[in-house]
Copies of this chain bind each other. A is one copy, B any other.
């Protein structure tokens, strides 16, 4: 599989094309819309979220809710475009009014202008904006439609915001909590901690500041054998790391025990191997986070990412005007105070794509029937 996505934050729409998706998979558009809706939620979001209620529109590759093997196109309209067409129209528009000449620290503004030779960050920020992640979520949601057939489930939750962190680690035994987390305002399993997280967000908001955090994605029922140890660029952990690190604001990725594993002895880290007639090979611990040697080992895949605070501050940092090279305050674009909950959904979608792609490679991917058949023989016999 492969996909390309396109679209500007104030453009007409976001578009994604996913090529290589198997035929005969039933798509429930409401599942996609639900994940899009999750992305838009979260305490600490700005006004934009009230304007846009993202809905996926499928334009190709699906007929009567079943995929055909042809490339799938998804479109998400930008409701805000009516207010922006005069400044963003592809053919003819006014490019002076909405100029952004004072780049925001922490954003693509300055390096983007330098790279492409612009003196206006508008064309950079329009594409660099996290608005693009709505399409990544839609693509990932489509992938989850496939994964669900194989009972592979993904959950995202927020484990830390502004230094406030959940008080224990959760596993899939806590499954009910995960479901509940998605009804919380911050996707946090622990409501008490969530309250403290809100307070940090509130503090940041009042100060015109922003705040980051850590999100976790847990993937249940991933079969062993995805990815491969034979070449570096086929390792599942590497593929996941790229997908997650490329999400706006992510500055760190870890799998399983992650950085903590660097502080321990091997005997405390590696998950001993057991066998049971019913379960096959299994582990009693999952410090590896479901991946050994670049290959899924059948345990839950556990990924965490660090999100830096959003770079747009209402109380702006110092910057330089590209026009006169004088020191000025950075531009202020409408923005959120904390995007970690949304980020956790994007992260989940990014991982879903990698898993679906690896599953197709493993089971061959012309049509779902063949995949299911291959799955049964490989894993159930």
B residues less than 8 Å from A272 (CB atoms):
105, 317-319
**Chain B residues whose CB sits within 8 angstroms of the CB of A91 once the complex forms:** 29, 58, 62, 64-65
- Given A246-B235, A261-B251, A309 and B123 touching (CB < 8 A)? no
**Count of chain A residues with a beta carbon within 8 Å of a chain B beta carbon:** 159
**Candidates B105, B224, B267, B307; contact of A313 at CB < 8 Å:** B267
Best-surrounded residue of A64, A92, A204, A213 (most CB of chain B within 10 A) = A64
How long is the Cα–Cα vector from A58 to B118 in the complex, in angstroms?
21
Known: A70-B230, A106-B271, A267-B317. A262 touches B95 (CB 8 A): no
Number of copies: 4
Determine whether the beta carbon of A13 is less than 8 Å from that of B59.
Answer: yes
A7 at the B interface (CB under 8 A): yes
Do residues A106 and B15 form an inter-chain contact, with CB atoms below 8 A? no
Q: Given contacts A209-B267, A309-B264, A364-B363, is CB(A274)–CB(B318) below 8 Å? A: yes
In the assembled complex, the Cα of A253 lies from the Cα of B240 at a distance in Å of 12
Q: How far is B288's CA from A212's CA once the two chains are assembled, in angstroms? A: 14
Residues of B within 8 A of A250 (CB): 237
Q: Is the CB of B4 within 8 A of A231?
A: yes
In the complex, whether A366 has a CB less than 8 A from a CB of chain B is: yes
- 13 residue pairs of the A-B complex, CB under 8 angstroms, read A2-B4, A6-B61, A7-B59, A11-B60, A15-B60, A24-B117, A107-B292, A111-B296, A162-B265, A245-B253, A251-B288, A264-B309, A364-B364
